[in-house]
Amino acid sequence: MAAAPPGTAGASRALLKSLRDLMGSARDTQSSLDRTVTLVGNAMVADVCSIYLRRTDGMLELCATEGLKREAVHRTQMKPREGLVGLVAELAEPVALSDAPSHPRFSYRPETGEDPYQSFLGVPILRSGRLIGVLVVQNRNPLNWADDDIEVLRTIAAFIGEQVPDDGAGGALAGFEIKPTQPVRMRGKVLSQGLAEGVAVLHEPVVAATRILAEDPVAEEQRLQTGLIDLRSGLERLLTGDAETLGGVPYEVLETFLLLSQDRGWERRLVDGVRAGLTAEASVEQVRSEHRARLANAKDNYLRDRLQDLEELDNRLLRHLSGASAPSLAPGADAIIVARDIGPAELLEYGADRIKAVLLEEGSPSGHAAIVARAMRLPMIGQLPGLLSQVEAGDPVIVDAGEHTAYLRPEAAVRQAFDTRLRLQTEERAQFAAQRDEPCITRCGQRVGLLLNAGLAVDMEQLDLTGADGVGLFRTEFQFMVSDTMPRLESQTELYSAVMAAAAGRPVTFRTLDLGSDKMAAFMPKEREENPAMGWRAVRIGLDRPALSRYQLRALVRAAEGQHLRVMFPLVTVIEEFRKARALLAQELDWARKHGRTGPVRLEVGAMVEAPALAWQTREIAAEADFLSVGTNDLLQFFFAADRGSARMAERFDILSRPALGFLRHIRTSAGSTPMSVCGEHAGRPVEAMALIALGFDRLSMPAGGIGPVKRMAMATDFDHLRPRLEAWLEDPKVDIRAALCAYATENSIVL
């Protein structure tokens, strides 16, 4: 066999062409499979060629064979991990054996009559990273399979994977998961609340089925090589700092990509695919599909990380080949974006009016993509393992963040239940709207300020819709993140003026630029940092680049002419930074006066408490600042030494634990009479907000979706009653404070 011609590129291309013709002309699916095994068996000079397909119940069923007994077709079924066929499925990799019967996983099936066959070569049949079957060739002789044989069979399997028709419920392949049809229910982590219904759109590029076979393999190999060169030189440019942007990807990741992109094994697999007759895209897709399928089975964290890197690299190469840098969407589609992870800028690029929801395999609640999703009022569920291997583009999808659940291809009953929830949501919203104009006064008569976190001009309409008391955190960096060039003074001024006009007298706290870490602006020069969240970001950049800061402060002073201006500096770590930042603002006020402007009628300057070092100087900063705001997203990531963007860390530590609540209590007490709010994401969650108010935080700033539920909770709670209990729980290490708060809410009929 090793000397036989099929291992040559020309022969395999001819074989793929014949397969395409055959599949196009066969009268039905079964005869197409029968003819496929005959053709492949002959071409591979094999005694046996068989196709096993995976049933919806996971069994691998013999669907066509040349060489085994015909009666076994549709009778022989292997359990998911049974036998050598099961091993190929489990590994999602080829298994090549010269002496199959002596392998410990060999499982003898008398009905197939496979006794005389010694050598075995099985490869996975994959479709969009899902294993749909196994293609096997066997020979009587104990052959040592050549790499070329394996490669050719892999390419054939890739082709079969894309081409096996999905002949629907009544067809020969009913009961098989060719194109997934089974409803799937997945529970994940809610990153942004809401309900949505639409169709799946894959964030990563997909290869059109029409672009599988290359007409001109030589030209195709050239295209692939050009794509690889572009990919590598693009990565090199980014790393050497020539390019203006790292595209939001951390340096280390790019460095890993660059190393991987030079991997000879990866390149060889791609070239082999093209030489065997696939287009460059189809060859990348074949390799990506294998990476995905292996990822779905991989348990080891290191291996998972590498496979994810490889898949990302495959995606980048596909983008280079297609020439598309940004994701495109069919107009009018109710798009539900499906991705492994997504960056905040990518989400903003899609735009709130073009997409309905986002589903992620990963993602973390305090990552910036989640914050942007909440700002855009897009439902988002993350941490859905196996999502990408179970969804196909165009699948109907329901996102029910209230239930932490995503439904792929939902049944009618689920759709009905969803409609009911949608109605309930509408009713709940109506309830919140009815309470909108009531001030938030607790059962014990305390007034609590509920404010909005915003970052885009469009967020401002939420002020009226929610009845919030003002904007407690306006993230000015969003405007910078969505621009290709540095926003000019005029456009900054315009945005701030529009925001103040929309606030119509309600206070707005503008936070100065919090760029850096994962919030990169396209035009910013990048610096390599080991730990960007703890690196050059926020006010640290602001102080090192006073011109950038003054520019922004000038726009704020201009926009606030004759009005009340509140400015807040992010990530202040030592008091000296606050003084310096405040001095820059003073210079701008002087400048405005010198130019005949009166400036704001009232000015308040504050700092965010989000670095633990500042938290331990709360008394001192409170004496200098007009107000303070605790940014629990950053503060807790530093407190717990747990990356806020890491999916693995997301569930690990709890703000409602004794150390975190004790720390927050210390901060609140030390601030004395200086106004202090909380503006991290936690403030928008009723249970967390309940604890924060009990600790003495009487101003909470949150995403729009949190205002109604937090108001309902606060108005139903007697904090004078709760406070001593919380104090007692904080002193007792045996108490699970989260559980105690929830039980307290139930006992006191407080809806959380």
Q: Please give the residue ranges that form the binding site for ligand PEP (CB under 6 A).
A: 371, 473, 475, 514, 610, 631-634, 679-680
In one-letter notation, the amino acid at residue 682 is: H
SS3 518: coil
| Interacting span for Mg ion (CB under 5 A) from 60-68, 89-97, 442-450, 629-637 | 629-637
Minimum CB distance to ligand PEP smaller for 316 or for 668: 668
Q: Which is nearer to ligand PEP, 160 or 611 (CB)?
A: 611
Which two structure tokens, joined as six digits, stand for 74? 């549709």
- Give 39 or 372: the residue with its C-beta nearer to ligand PEP: 372
- Least separation, in Å, of the C-beta of 520 and ligand PEP? 13
What's the min distance (Å) between Cβ of 610 and ligand PEP?
5
* Mode of pairing for the β-strands spanning 130-139 and 195-202: unpaired
Q: What's the min distance (Å) between Cβ of 640 and ligand PEP? A: 13
Q: State the nearest-atom distance from the C-beta of 628 to Mg ion, in Å.
A: 13
Which of Mg ion, ligand PEP, none does 339 bind, CB closer than 5 to 8 A by kind?
Answer: none
**1 or 369: whose CB is closer to ligand PEP?**
369
Q: How far apart are CA 744 and CA 687, in angstroms?
A: 10
State the nearest-atom distance from the C-beta of 326 to ligand PEP, in Å.
24
C-alpha 71: how far from chain center: 47
Instruction: Tell me whether residue 363 or residue 631 sits nearer to Mg ion (CB atom).
Output: 631
User: Starting at the edge strand that comes first in sequence, how are the strands of the sheet with 335-339 ordered?
Assistant: 184-187, 405-408, 396-400, 195-202, 335-339, 355-360, 380-382, 189-192
Q: What is the 3-state secondary structure (H, E, C) of 293-333?
A: HHHHHCCCHHHHHHHHHHHHHHHHHHHHHHCCCCCCCCCCC
Q: Which does 470 bind (CB under 5 to 8 A by kind): Mg ion, ligand PEP, none?
A: none
Q: Give how far the C-alpha of residue 21 lies from the chain's centroid of Cα atoms, to the nearest Å.
A: 40
**CB of 140 closer than 8 Å to CB of 47:** yes
Q: Give residues 371-400 in contact with Mg ion (rule: CB under 5 A).
A: none
Cβ closest to ligand PEP, residue 89 vs residue 608: 608
Interacting partner of 577 out of Mg ion, ligand PEP, none (Cβ under 5 to 8 A depending on kind): none
Binding partner selected for residue 679 from ligand PEP, Mg ion, none, CB under the kind-specific 5 to 8 Å limit: ligand PEP
Residue nearest to Mg ion (CB): 634
Q: How far is the CB of 366 from ligand PEP (least distance, A)?
A: 7
Q: Which stretch binds Mg ion (CB under 5 A): 119-127, 265-273, 628-636, 667-675?
A: 628-636
Instruction: Indicate the residue among 220 and 681 with the shorter CB distance to ligand PEP.
Output: 681
Tell me the closest approach of the beta carbon of residue 610 to Mg ion, in angstroms: 5
Distance CA 110, CA 392 (A): 37
Binding-site partner at residue 371 among ligand PEP, Mg ion, none, CB < 5 to 8 Å by type: ligand PEP
User: Of 114 and 610, which has the nearer Cβ to Mg ion?
Assistant: 610
Which two tokens mark 52?
Answer: 């096993």
Interacting positions 590-619 with Mg ion (CB under 5 A): 610
Q: Are 674 and 622 in contact (CB under 8 A)?
A: yes
DSSP, res 680: S
Contacts of 97 (CB under 8 A, 6+ apart): 84, 103, 119, 120, 121
The option from ligand PEP, Mg ion, none interacting with 390 (CB < 5 to 8 A, set by class) reads none
701 binds, among Mg ion, ligand PEP, none (CB under 5 to 8 A by kind): none
Helix ranges, 560-647 (H): 575-594, 612-615, 618-624, 632-639
Min. distance of Cβ 398 from Mg ion in angstroms?
33
Nearer to ligand PEP, 36 or 509 (CB): 509
Two tokens, residue 67: 């060489």
| Residue 19 or 661 with smaller CB distance to ligand PEP | 661
SS3 528: coil
Could you say which of ligand PEP, Mg ion, none residue 358 binds, taking C-beta under 5 to 8 angstroms by partner kind? none
The interface partner of residue 680, options being ligand PEP, Mg ion, none and the CB cut-off 5 to 8 Å by kind, is ligand PEP
Tokens of 743: 């039980």
Specify the stretch interacting with Mg ion by CB under 5 A; choose among 354-362, 375-383, 479-487, 624-632.
624-632
Q: In terms of Cα–Cα distance, which of 105, 110, 63, 101 is closest to 87?
A: 105
Query: Which of Mg ion, ligand PEP, none does residue 660 bind to, with CB < 5 to 8 Å depending on kind?
Result: none
- Rounded to whole angstroms, the Cα distance separating 649 from 682 reads 16
| Angle ∠(394,399,402) on CA atoms, nearest 5 | 180
Q: Closest approach of Cβ 570 to ligand PEP, in Å?
A: 7
Between 388 and 679, name the residue whose CB sits nearer to ligand PEP.
679
Rounded Cα–Cα distance for residues 260 and 40 (Å) = 33
We find the least distance from the C-beta atom of residue 633 to Mg ion, in angstroms, to be 5
CB nearer to ligand PEP: give 135 or 710: 710
* Secondary structure of residue 677 in the 3-state scheme: strand
- The residue whose two tokens read 């706290």 is 509
User: What angle do the packed helices 280-297 and 83-91 form, to 10 degrees?
Assistant: 100
User: For ligand PEP, which is the closer residue by CB, 161 or 570?
Assistant: 570
Give the number of residues in contact with Mg ion, rule: CB under 5 A.
3
**Does the footprint of Mg ion cover residue 631 (CB under 5 A)?**
yes
518 touches, from ligand PEP, Mg ion, none (C-beta below 5 to 8 Å by class): none
Pick 83 or 645: Cβ nearer ligand PEP: 645
* φ, ψ for residue 174, nearest 5 deg: -60, 140
CB 63 within 8 A of CB 53: yes
Angle at 454 between CA 451 and CA 456, to 5 degrees: 155
From Mg ion, ligand PEP, none, interface partner of 281 (C-beta below 5 to 8 A by class): none
In terms of Cβ atoms closer than 10 Å to its own Cβ (0-12, 13-18, 19+), residue 189 is buried
Note whether 634 binds Mg ion by CB under 5 A: yes
CA distance 391 to 669: 50
By three-state DSSP, how is residue 191 classified?
Answer: strand
**In 10 A of CB 471, how many CB atoms?**
29
Least Å distance, CB 632 to Mg ion, is 9
Instruction: Give every CB contact of residue 399 below 8 A, 6+ residues apart in sequence.
Output: 194, 195, 196, 197, 336, 356, 357, 359, 379, 381, 406, 407
Nearest-angstrom CA–CA distance, 414 and 408: 10
CA distance 174 to 168: 6
CA distance 283 to 290: 11
Among Mg ion, ligand PEP, none, the one that 676 touches (CB under a kind-dependent 5 to 8 A) is none
Q: From the list ligand PEP, Mg ion, none, which binds 475 (C-beta under 5 to 8 Å, kind-based)?
A: ligand PEP
**Cβ closest to Mg ion, residue 453 vs residue 617:** 453
Of all residues in the shown chain, the one whose CB is closest to ligand PEP is 631
Sign of CA dihedral 235, 236, 239, 244: negative
- Using the rule CB under 5 A, give the single segment among 194-202, 560-568, 625-633, 743-751 that binds Mg ion: 625-633
Smallest distance, ligand PEP to C-beta of residue 509, A: 11
632 binds, among Mg ion, ligand PEP, none (CB under 5 to 8 A by kind): ligand PEP
> Residue 693: which of ligand PEP, Mg ion, none does it interact with, CB under 5 to 8 A by kind?
none
Instruction: Report the half-sphere exposure of 112 (CA within 13 A, side-chain side).
Output: 26
Question: Which entry of Mg ion, ligand PEP, none binds 314, CB below 5 to 8 A by partner kind?
Answer: none
Nearer to ligand PEP, 189 or 356 (CB): 189
Residue (455 or 631) nearer to Mg ion, CB: 631
Dihedrals phi, psi of 189, to nearest 5 degrees: -105, 130
| Shortest distance (Å) from residue 571 CB to ligand PEP | 8
CB of 612 to ligand PEP, least distance (A): 12
Residues that bind Mg ion (CB under 5 A): 610, 631, 634
